[in-house]
């Protein structure tokens, strides 16, 4: 069982939503004995002809599919196709095999949390991968999409405004909640649902 990272140039945003829903609801990040649900992520994708996202790093690893890409801003799951660059930045995780459901927010904080589970520099075999979620491990939620965070709007106003951030567990910490609420209104979420989440 693997994630379908296929991107069809004619329906890029629909593919982002499909992949985000799969990652946020059907997969677990396993680091040794710790199990994490990914609760927020951002998509970065560049195809020069059809989707020139200037915010992507453009590293050669991002041309590959299903790799980990560590960088100065966090960690990506790559979904390139040999020609196009693709990276999914992990922005938040929740430890689900902990009675307190430890929630970790921010790309660099996620890396610190992930590596805190690696017990020894001398251990030759380590578990650090995605595994399928088991039904009932957590509540399946429709991901909310909103603009990405921490980007310079002057660099590319069109790509800056794209709703390429996806999140679940909205009552937990998420950056720029005002923009999330505005995005939900633009997507015709019922006002009662918005108020129930954000108050």
pLDDT tens digits, 133-143: 999 999 999 99
Annotation: CATH topology of 9-198:
3-methyladenine DNA Glycosylase; Chain A (3.10.300)
Instruction: Enter the pTM of the model.
Output: 0.94
Return the H-helix or E-strand segment holding 166: strand 165-167
The whole-angstrom separation of Cα 59 and Cα 139 is 35
| Four-residue CA torsion sign, 165, 167, 172, 178 | positive
The whole-angstrom separation of Cα 23 and Cα 46 is 20
Segment 38-93, tens digit of pLDDT:
999 999 999 988 899 999 999 999 999 999 999 999 999 999 999 999 999 999 99
């Amino acid at each position: 069982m693997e994630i379908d990272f296929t991107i069809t140039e004619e329906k890029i945003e629909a593919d982002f939503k499909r992949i985000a829903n799969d990652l946020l609801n059907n997969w677990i990040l396993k680091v040794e004995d710790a199990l994490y649900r990914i609760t927020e992520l951002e998509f970065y994708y560049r195809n020069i002809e059809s989707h020139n996202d200037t915010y992507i790093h453009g590293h050669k690893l991002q041309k590959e599919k299903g790799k980990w890409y560590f960088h100065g801003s966090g960690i990506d799951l790559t979904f390139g196709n040999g020609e196009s660059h693709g990276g999914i930045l992990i922005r938040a995780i929740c430890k689900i095999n902990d009675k307190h459901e430890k929630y970790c927010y921010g790309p660099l904080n996620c890396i610190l949390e992930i590596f805190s589970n690696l017990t020894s520099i001398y251990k030759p075999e380590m578990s650090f991968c995605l595994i399928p979620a088991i039904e009932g491990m957590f509540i399946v939620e429709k991901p909310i999409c909103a603009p990405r965070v921490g980007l310079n709007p002057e660099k590319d106003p069109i790509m800056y405004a794209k709703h390429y951030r996806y999140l679940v567990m909205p009552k937990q910490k998420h950056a720029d909640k005002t923009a999330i609420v505005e995005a939900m209104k633009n997507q015709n979420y019922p006002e009662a649902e918005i108020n129930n989440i954000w108050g």
